[in-house]
Structures are given as structure tokens and as C-alpha cells.
Chains A and B, each alone.
Chain A
């Protein structure tokens, strides 16, 4: 306190001197005044904080007194009772009601949550037969499987208007132990069950079991539904190796959330092995019969604890299963040789997400990359034309990767870029001992989308690529998509 008064006095003197500055000492005096001013301000701040702390102490003391005096007033009706009575009356008042709507909500919540996704696309490209047809002739991706049902699962987009499919999804808690989910995709011609599975919800120690038909959870692209992707279509390597449905199969999945201080999730899947491209199964007279499950998938998801809006997930994966092929070597319309063995793939995908915290997705960023490699390890089981080749090996490898980024450049607007390459190490070795290497293909895709609300999205996407074809030549192609997607029904939550 004394110090304060002294400084004040000094200040007063300095200020008194100020109006009569000596011409020479003006600057120096100005400085002194400035310093003194600063000091006064500091002291003021100190005073204020001291006053604050005294006030706080006084408040605490008063509170203690209050508590004491309240204890004395025992015979008064309790204020809390009066308050709850007032609150009860208020809630019954009509304008501010809770109970009424809760009852309705409770009744409604017994119904399964239902939603419908409508996904319409205008598509065009500058290839002769359409991109989807062309991609089947890409070097080292020739998929030769025996069935006559090659076109059955064709989801490739046609030039012009497309209704990709209408997805009807239902989910509900079955009871305290199970949850159920079903997703039926209706196309113009037929309906197919995309996913229908049961999840346990009460297993201890971080275990969860899933059974039914489901998308394998091995990577982000495979586990997400098409409408959750950041681009209209899947990266090339997925459609070229796994087909339009990726790995969607019947089976069981056991996953375990490790009790680690960071997120570490292990999963093992036993699947029937019915994928028509990578884990093709024929059985029958010329090929050995194999009971399901014929395909095993293992994956791991690791996510470190990053601060703020940063999120990262790294997911290595591996799969191995039975693979059989039937071929018509001399193109006479009948199958003449049969291959049997295994197919396997492995890879790793990485997702980084930044949540800016701003409204309407502005400033949010997603970076995503995946490397995928597939190896086919077969041998000739039966050969009508060249029996000498029986037992000889037929192997093939195929690989590809993509890197993509999507950024919210304005409220509700996002832009994205995807770079991908396939066939970096594509190689075939044939039963007769010969082998073939192939060139790589690449594609660059750009995307802009507008999300008016959480239930609708309009997207324009364009791609240009150069593709190494079976004949050794390169073919270039432009593609363009215009997509409008809406979701009806319950607000689905967004996974990471």
C-alpha cells in the first residue's frame, strides 16, 4: 500500500512538471511519464486482483454463515420443495412440456430405425463400349471365371441416367444381447440383400460377434456403403479385383477391442467364399469340393490418441481363400481346363481426418490412402487338351493403390482429388512355364460436392486416365459423373 502511495505521489509530481517541459529534456520526460503510467496501470491491476480475492474470501465466509443460518431455519418449508413444485407446474403448462413428447418418443423408439437412400447418377465417358466393359480388358486383370453368370452382378454405370439402387436399411436393438441390421438394395430389375447381420452387444472384455451377410470390415472402402464414399465410385483396384460389391459375403466375424490406452481393434472373419472374382468357387466333377468357410480375413485397426480435431486410423489387412477357375482354352464354347488353388490379398489403408470444429463442415479435411496387392496361386487340376500340364502351377499377382484428399473449402461445399495407379507389378505365370509382365495404368479424379443438409448431397466428379490394355496398347478415357443422393428417414450417425 505504501508503495502505491509513493508511486502515486511520484506520478503527481511528474504530471505537475509535464506542462512546463524544458526544450532539451522533453523526450526523457515523456519516457518517464510513460513508465510511470505503466506502473500505475500495473498497480491498478494488482489492486483489482487483490480486491477480487478479498471479495471471494468474503463470499466464502458469507456462504459459510449462510449455511450456518440455514441450518438454524429448520422449521421453514424447504425451498427445494417449493422449486420442484413450481417446475412440475411449469412442465404441465403446455408450452414447455417434456413428459408428453417423451411418451411419444418412447413408443416410437420401439420401432426399428428405417432409412431409404436414393442414389441417382448421370454418367458418361468417351470409350466405345463403356468404361466398365473396357476395364475388363485391362492388362493383367483378365478375370476368367467359369460360370455363365458373368453379367449377373453387373453394376457398372451405363452412359446416361442411372438409378444406382435404392437402399432400404433397418436397424434395431433386438434385446439386451443382440442388435440387428438389414440393408436391402432394390434395383429396377430385382432386389438383393446387401447386408443382413446380427451383432452381439453384451459380450464382455471388448469382444463382439457378427453373423449373417456383411461387407468385410477390412478397409475403409470395403466396409463403407457406396453412399458414404467421398467419390461416386470405388478406387479401380477394388472394382478390378473384387468386383462391384467388393468383399460382401456370408459368414461370421469376431472382433476384439484391446484394453490398450489407444484404439486397437482386431478382427477375424470366416466367410463362405462366394466372391465371383477373387474367391471364386465352382466345385463339381472337375474340381475338388470344398466346404465353407472357404475364405478367411484378418484385419487390425490402430488409432493413436491425437489432440483436438485430428484423427488417424491405420488398418493393415490380410485375406486368404479357396479359388477355382474353369477355362475354355480353344474358344469352342466348352470348358476344357480347370484350375484350383488359393487366392490371397493383403494391404494397408490409412485415414487421417481433421475436424475444424467450424459449422457446416468448413475447413474439414480427410486424407485417405490404401495399397492393395493380390496373389493367385493355382495349379492345373484337369486339362482335356494338354494333360501334360496337369499339376503345373498358374500364378498371378495384381496390385494398386490410391491416395485421396477431400477438403471443405466453403460452408457445405467440399472438393476432392484422387490419384490412383493399378498394375504396378502385375504378372502372370502360365502352366507351360511362360510368363508375362504388364504395364501400369493410372487415373486422376476430381470431385466437388454440395451438401445442402445432412440428408442430401449433389456431386460432380470427373476423371481422366490412361489404361494399359490386354493387347499391350494404352487407352485413354475421360469419365464424368453427376450424382444426387438423398436419405429419407432416421438420421444415421456418421462413423469415423
Chain B
């Protein structure tokens, strides 16, 4: 018996040493480790956390975020995370659970303070109000999860991340607050132009936009000519109809007054089919649609076929940071989308 115990001790002591040493190095660094499921969240988190944290993303922005391979190496990111931020609304349902489970990190499990569902406070669209079935395709019961393409939601998410960081790391509360303000100022300037934000304040402009009377108010104030940024760039195209591949551009379109008439996918997650495309040709012609919008990871064949038969133009744009060399961060991503769509709609 003695020999067994002695042997056990011999085996366990180096093990225990490894555990202690490694957990020591993680806490000694003192930097918060933030892991985001997507690059868009990571970009916003980086802006808020500044130099105080290490921010990584599971996706690179190039791939379809619905279907990510739950690689064991991602579990290592999750294991070392102090804060896990997800898009939520079912976007990561196919790959997030095994990552969090496999990480053995109880601090980032849903419901704990190390787990932030970024969708909690955002404006949601297409939340089903009637009974849904899988016969409708990949319909998310929580609503359409592509909300980050509405810059207002980006602004809201930034606030949520800042709030959580302050909770986790109150010592640096001031820095996080300052970074949040600076991120929002940049975003507001990019949205409305610095002339307007300077005079009226970004938040107020957003408030008017949400209420739907931004244009009226600006006209009354005689400031319409001072409007700049994405809002002014997209204003001439308000009400125009577009076609998209997947139901992923609904938030962007909603924010800038475009109308998504239909998707190339007959149902979310179901690839385009002949009869459906034929129907879309008619739609494009009667509504004089100029733009078919899709992400790089979807096959472009169907869209090019439509473009060859109609006057519509195919525009392939990344819908995540990192999906295009020009989409370096959240603001430049929206910048890119606005400049490409407005060019095609002209």
C-alpha cells in the first residue's frame, strides 16, 4: 500500500506543479483575455478595451459564420478567456456549445459574468411572431442574427461590452468609458458627418433617425446640406429595391432605407433553384432593381446568371471585418459596404 501511495505522489507532484505554474502565468499577465466569436465583435471589443486586454476572434471574417468547424484549438482560446462574447440569436448554435464545453472554463458559460451575448440589447428584426417550423428553412426563433450590419446595433453592442468590462475590471472603468465615448464619436461622425454631430451630438441624431424624423428635423433646422457620412451617401437611394443572396442584409437595408425584395435562397439555408430564380428575374424587371448583394462565401453562379439576364449588377461584399482587406475594423467595414452599394445603386 505504501508503495502505491508513494508512486501516486511521484506521479501527481509534477502534474500539480504544471497546473500551478500555468495558472500562475495566466493571472500574472494581468491583461483581460477577451474571446469573441466573430471579427466584428472583436473589432468593437478592441476599440473599447484598448491596450488593457487581449482580444481574439474565432472566425476570420472570410467564412460563413453559421457553420464553423469546432476545432480543438478554438477550445484553447475559450479555456484562456476571461470574457466570451457571442453574436447570439442562434448564429453560433452549431459550433459554440462544444467550444465552451470543451474549454472546461466555467467562467464563460452562458449565464455567467464572463459570457456576454451581444444581442441582448440590440434592435432585432424578423423575430417570428407566429409558429415556425423547419419547413421554413433556417429560421431563427430569436430573430434574424445578422444585426451587426446596422451601425446603430454596433453602437449598442459597444455599450454592452463596455458595461461588462467595467463589471469585470472596475479598476479600469474610466479607460473603458473613455474608449466607448471615442468609439461612439467615430461611429457617429462616420454615420452623419462631423458637421452634424458637432452641432447636434451623435446620440441625438441617432434618436431622431430611430424615430424616423431625422430628415424632417434637419430640414427644419436648415442643416440638411451639412449632413455627411453614410447617411448622406445612402440618402439618394432611399426606397430602392435590392436582391440579396441570404437574409443577411436586412439590418443594413433597414437602417439605410433600402428594400430587400427577395433573396436568391428560396428559404434561408436552401441554395437557389431554377424556378425561384425565374421569379426573381421578373421581380428585378418590374422593380428596376439595380443591385444583387451577396457575401464572398456564397456561390456567385446564380447571381451572375441573373445579372446576365437583367440590368442588375452583382456586388460581392464581405459582411464581416476581415472578409475584405479594406474591412480592417468595424467602421471601415460599414464604410466599405456603403461605398460599394451606393456606387452600384447610382
Contact = CB atoms under 8 A, between A and B. Distances in A.
| A and B associate in one complex | yes
Interface in B38-93: 60, 62-64, 67-73, 75-76, 79, 90, 93
A473 B100 CA distance: 52
Given A96-B123, A205-B23, A357 B62 contact: yes
A65 B98 contact: no
A102 to B, nearest CB: 8
Contacts, number: 183
A455 B26 CA distance: 41
A262 B74 CA distance: 9
Given A70-B201, A208-B104, A494-B98, A263 B76 contact: yes
A66 B76 contact: no
Contacts of B95: 493-494
Given A101-B127, A493-B93, A83 B70 contact: no
A66 B93 contact: no
A97 B98 contact: no
B297 A98 contact: no
B257 interface: no
Interface size of B as a range:
35 or more
Q: Which of A67, A100, A412, A494 has the most CB of B within 10 A?
A: A494
A69 interface: yes
B72 A303 contact: yes
Given A86-B210, A101-B141, A203-B104, A495 B134 contact: no
A301 B143 CA distance: 38
A219 B141 CA distance: 35
B64 to A, nearest CB: 5
B183 to A, nearest CB: 12
Nearest to A261: B76
Given A202-B106, A313-B72, A453 B271 contact: no
A62 B198 contact: yes
A63 interface: yes
A44 interface: no
A457 interface: no
B239 interface: no
A74 interface: no
B189 A357 contact: no
A80 to B, nearest CB: 4
Contact of B64 (A96, A261, A357): A357
A174 to B, nearest CB: 13
Contacts of A65: 198
Interface in A333-376: 353, 355-362
Interface in B97-144: 97-98, 101-104, 106, 109, 120-125, 127-129, 134, 137-138, 141-143
Interface string A73-97: 0001011101101110111000011
B211 interface: yes
A359 B298 contact: yes
A63 B189 contact: yes
B326 interface: no
B237 interface: no
A308 interface: yes
A62 B76 contact: no
15 contacts: A63-B185, A67-B185, A80-B203, A83-B210, A86-B211, A201-B109, A206-B19, A257-B79, A257-B103, A306-B71, A308-B60, A309-B63, A359-B298, A452-B270, A491-B90
In order of increasing CB-CB distance, the 8 nearest A-B pairs are A357-B63, A79-B203, A259-B22, A303-B72, A263-B72, A79-B204, A79-B201, A311-B71
Interface of A: 59, 62-63, 65-67, 69-70, 76, 78-80, 82-83, 85-87, 89-91, 96-98, 100-102, 105, 201-203, 205-208, 257-263, 265, 301, 303-306, 308-309, 311, 313, 353, 355-362, 411-412, 452-455, 491, 493-496
Given A63-B185, A203-B104, 20 more contacts: A66-B198, A79-B200, A79-B205, A82-B207, A86-B207, A87-B210, A90-B123, A96-B124, A96-B125, A96-B127, A98-B143, A101-B128, A105-B141, A259-B26, A301-B72, A306-B73, A357-B62, A358-B297, A411-B271, A496-B69
